[in-house]
Amino acid sequence: MLGKRFKYVIEASRFKTSEIAVRSPDRFKAMLEMRREWAQSEGLNPDAIAKMYSDLVNHFIEEEMKQWEIHQRTI
């Protein structure tokens, strides 16, 4: 599933219009809050789950940024 998600992330980089659109800090913050709430409701440690998702999504964002920058050079 992570590999499939990664492919979607890379494809999405083609449609983003700016670095802010790629990084989307507000969306990232909202996602982490939702994951914390989910963790809490499942009896999991919200800090651990937030860190796990933060690390994963930050990795995907960095990879998407690399692809976005490549696309910007070819426009």
Q: What is the pLDDT of residues 1-40, one digit of tens each?
A: 999 999 999 999 999 999 999 999 999 999 999 999 999 9
Rounded to the nearest 10 degrees, the angle between the axes of helix 2-12 and helix 46-74 is 40
The model's pTM is: 0.86
Ordered structural domains, the chain, with CATH: 2-74 (1.20.59.10)
The predicted pLDDT at position 28 comes to 97
CB atoms within 10 A of CB 19: 12
- What is the Cα–Cα distance from 69 to 66, expressed in whole angstroms? 5
Closest CA to 2 of 56, 45, 48, 49: 56
